[in-house]
Amino acid sequence: MLKIKTTTIKIIQGDITEQNVEAVVNAANNELRMGGGVAGAIKRKGGPTIQEEANKISPIAIGGAAVTGAGNLKAKYVIHAATMALDFKTNERIIRQSTANTLNRAEEHKIKSIAFPALGCGVGRFPIEIAAKVMSQAVFSHLHKSKSCLQEVIFVLHTKKDWEIFDKIADSYLTYIQKKIEDGPFITVDAIIVIGDKIVLIKRKNPPFGWALPGGFVDYGENLEKAAKREAKEETNLELEDLRQFHTYSDPRRDPRFHTVSTVFIARGKGILQSGSDADEAKLFSLNELPDEIAFDHREILKDYIKFKQSL
């Protein structure tokens, strides 16, 4: 158990329909049809009125969330988090959005306690390890950026195996983040590493997924230049030469997890390119042939870099 500001976070094994909270979360499809899994359990125990209310407000946007009464459940509300359409396909972005929108609905209804299942991990077959990190990121982001009505957020996992996985990942992640930040934004660095006429991007192992500039958090007692060199070595195996600051990016929306301020460097890479740390892959790209999926605001950073090169 830990706290984010005034909200207690718990991760337990149990039956979500038996939780003594104001709202339980249904891992829903956007048509709000309550069939199997968590939805089926809520419908069976809560009674037909939940589905009847849901029918009146469906469909909702994928990644959205909507509120109904909770019928015969101990809870007062069911918040239906639309983690997929009826094709049962989901992804990191949808799970992050549906978690965030669920929390927004809870604030609108002045809800003090809420119980979440692992979203997308039933018929959506989304890996629970990734769901744990994405959902805990979304919860942290919501609770940290503004005052919340929520006094308690509970993650409820049905099996012991799922609970062990979720508890280990979410608890360690939230504990780590709490140690990294107090009231201000995260300080990070990124590097545009040039080799010949190409630049280096890494494919992220952890959410948010996609290709990104090598970079990461600045450690306490570390200056920006040292952090950029360390992160580049950890993620690409490259040494950086001719390191120079390019620009600082501070839009609070640039990172979907939380507010980060990143100083971007330009440097030449030396050595053998090889992925490491939280990089799944490290690869060279031409600036006119960048990948489709680029994380954070790194596509905008690279557009600025292209303009800079053209101005020389």
pLDDT 10s digits, 235-279: 999 999 999 999 999 999 999 988 899 999 999 999 999 998 888
> How would you label 70-88 residue by residue, b for 16+ Cβ within 10 Å and e otherwise?
bbebebebbbbbbbbeeee
Tens digit of each residue's pLDDT (9 = 90 or more) over 82-120: 999 999 999 999 999 999 999 999 999 999 999 999 999
DSSP reduced 3-state for 274: coil
Please tell me which residue, 124 or 193, carries the higher pLDDT value: 193
Tally the C-alpha atoms within 13 A of residue 112's C-alpha that lie toward its C-beta. Answer: 2
- With a cut of 90, say whether residue 5 has pLDDT above it: no
* Measured distance CA(29)–CA(172) in Å, rounded: 30
* Measured distance CA(120)–CA(168) in Å, rounded: 19
- Catalytic one of 108, 239, 241, 281: 281
Amino acid letter at 115? A
pLDDT of residue 228: 98
- With a cut of 70, say whether residue 181 has pLDDT above it: no
pLDDT of residue 26: 98
- Residue where the block lists tokens 């060279």: 284
pLDDT of residue 175: 85
Residue 270 forms beta bridges with which residues? Answer: 239
Please tell me which residue, 127 or 312, carries the higher pLDDT value: 127
Averaged pLDDT, 140-150 = 89
What's the mean pLDDT when you consider all of the chain?
A: 94
pLDDT of residue 180: 67
pLDDT of residue 87: 93
Tally the C-alpha atoms within 13 A of residue 212's C-alpha that lie toward its C-beta. Answer: 27
pLDDT of residue 270: 97
Confidence bin at 227 (pLDDT 50/70/90): very high
Q: Is 231 a catalytic residue?
A: no
Q: What Cα–Cα distance (Å) separates residue 159 from each residue in 14, 21, 167, 212? A: 7, 20, 12, 35
pLDDT of residue 183: 59
- With a cut of 90, say whether residue 177 has pLDDT above it: no
Domains, the chain, ordered by start: 2-180 (3.40.220.10), 186-311 (3.90.79.10)
Please tell me which residue, 212 or 180, carries the higher pLDDT value: 212
Which residues neighbour 22 within 8 Å (Cβ) at sequence distance 6 or greater?
75, 76, 77, 111, 112, 113, 114
pLDDT of residue 74: 95
Tens digit of each residue's pLDDT (9 = 90 or more) over 41-90: 999 999 999 999 999 999 999 999 999 999 999 999 999 999 999 999 99
pLDDT of residue 182: 57
Q: Which helix (H) or strand (E) holds 272?
A: none
Q: Token digits for 246? A: 């390019």
Torsion of CA 122, 296, 97, 36, to 10 degrees: -10
